[in-house]
Amino acid sequence: MTSSAGDAAGLHQFRYTAADFGRIRELIYRWAGISLNPNKQQMVYSRLARRLRLRGIASFAAYIDLVERGEPGETEEFINALTTNLTSFFREPHHFPILARHLEELLPLRRPLTIWSSAASSGEEPYSLAMTMVELFGSFTPPVRIHATDIDTSALERGRRGIYPTERVKELSPARMKRFFLRGEGKNAGYVRVKPELQWLVTFGRLNLLDERWPLAERFDAIFCRNVMIYFDKETQYQVLKRFVPRLQPEGLLFAGHSESFHQAGDLFRLCGKTVYAPCHPA
């Protein structure tokens, strides 16, 4: 998109130039590590235009000025709007039996087991982890703690609520539906809710993987960081992976997305399964 095309009357409700898009790319990279492809101009307009309408702002330049000034709450809304939340229950299903076998092998250590879902989005991944743990241990009180974090506060709130349209769970077996979900009735028809006993296994909290400090004190037996690294450039990926190493237990595993490869971090992690990694030199 050129500046003149972006400003053409009738194409956009709000004034939007190539320079505006450049500023947005710089901000989302600085704050969230996301490298926006140059062909995403129209997507950015579509996602942020709602914020301009809500704030009564006439141009993208004025909105970006507002965000850069640190307007309370608007930085989060800016990041939320530009964050992709494509997720599903038991996405990349081969990971879950690998995780179950891995944690079974750690049981002789006789300590609580910990899992970090570091790009939890709206909760489908951490709840899939929780279901896996209940099935593994045959109890809603497994010796496992699951931490679910994401940069997107609106997605996290949906995860905390644990309410989903029925089409989001259509791939789950009838047995899992009966064991882990409640079906909505009346005005809630067409929705399901995660049962409270499953919700209790997951703790949600906001975390930006680019923040200097992560508000997590413990080390993890498994870290799930799936389908988020694809939005980072190679240097940002490496720096995040480097910080994962001391966050893993010596026997810990890192689970990545199907389109992600960490060849550039071969000094940090070695491939030990399909998109499953172990630290080369455990901290």
Catalytic one of 47, 193, 206, 219 = 47
Distance CA 22, CA 19 (A): 5
Catalytic one of 150, 152, 221, 226 = 150
| Catalytic annotation present for 150 | yes
Query: The tokens 């939320």 sit on which residue?
Result: 80
Contact 259, 230 (CB under 8 A): yes
**Crossing angle (nearest 10°) for helices 41-55 and 74-82:** 150
3-state secondary structure of 21: helix
- The C-alpha R_g of the chain, in whole angstroms, comes to 21
Render the burial of 153-191: b for 16+ CB within 10 Å, e for the rest. ebbbebbbebbbeeebbeebeeebeebbbbebeeeeeeb
Contact 129, 117 (CB under 8 A): yes
Closest to 24 (Cα-Cα) out of 72, 73, 59: 59
| Catalytic annotation present for 211 | no
Which residue numbers are catalytic? 47, 150
